[in-house]
Amino acid sequence: MKGELDKLKAILKKSLEVTLKNTDPENIDLILDKRDESEFSDAWMRAYHLIEKKVTDPEIKSEIDEFRKDIFVLTFRSTGSSDLPAYISDDMDLICSYYVHGIESRWIAHLLFTYLNHQIPQGLLMKTDQTINELIH
């Protein structure tokens, strides 16, 4: 699983680096506002509640936590925003958690697909018919 998780992390980080380079700092408040709207935040919370009680191997959990920190720092350095890094690192944790537990979710697949298409998820996500596994492999 570690090798598979490393692959996912590398894909996500590379995609996020491109996304952040193309993100206009003046649009960050709008992005945050759209993420806070019920359409997005309610779906995010449903996805979180489905996974929050799952027990993750401590070594894998530690690896995901380190990845979250890296993503937080990367996002903060790229944007200077104090809020956006927390949202994005939470997304990365959610995607990684679904992946390591082998749980397929259409909404999480859309979340991942949005990142892979160099967009910061907000409001309506980009749609895909692919599963999480298909998007990674």
Using the predicted structure, report yes or no on whether residue 106 has a pLDDT greater than 80. yes
Q: If we measure between CA atoms, which residue out of 79, 78, 72 comes closest to residue 27?
A: 79
Q: Would you say the C-alpha torsion 125, 107, 97, 99 has a positive or negative sign?
A: negative
pLDDT of residue 104: 95
Q: What is the DSSP string of 4-44?
A: HHHHHHHHHHHHHHHHHHT--GGGHHHHHHHHHSHHHHHHH
Are 60 and 100 within 8 A, CB to CB? Answer: yes
In which band, very low, low, confident or very high, does the pLDDT at 2 lie, cut at 50, 70 and 90? Answer: confident
Tokens of 4: 């598979």
Q: If we measure between CA atoms, which residue out of 94, 118, 124 comes closest to residue 108?
A: 94
> Residue ranges of the domains in the chain?
2-136
| Eight-class DSSP state of 124 | S
Rounded Cα gap, residues 41 and 44, in angstroms: 5
Query: Does the global pTM surpass 0.75?
Result: yes
Taking residues 45-53, report their average pLDDT: 95
Please, what is the average pLDDT of the chain? 95
Tell me the pLDDT tens digit for each residue of 3-40: 889 999 999 999 999 999 999 999 999 999 999 999 99
pLDDT of residue 3: 84
Rounded Cα gap, residues 118 and 11, in angstroms: 11
| C-alpha distances out from residue 43 to 20, 107, 108, Å | 23, 8, 10
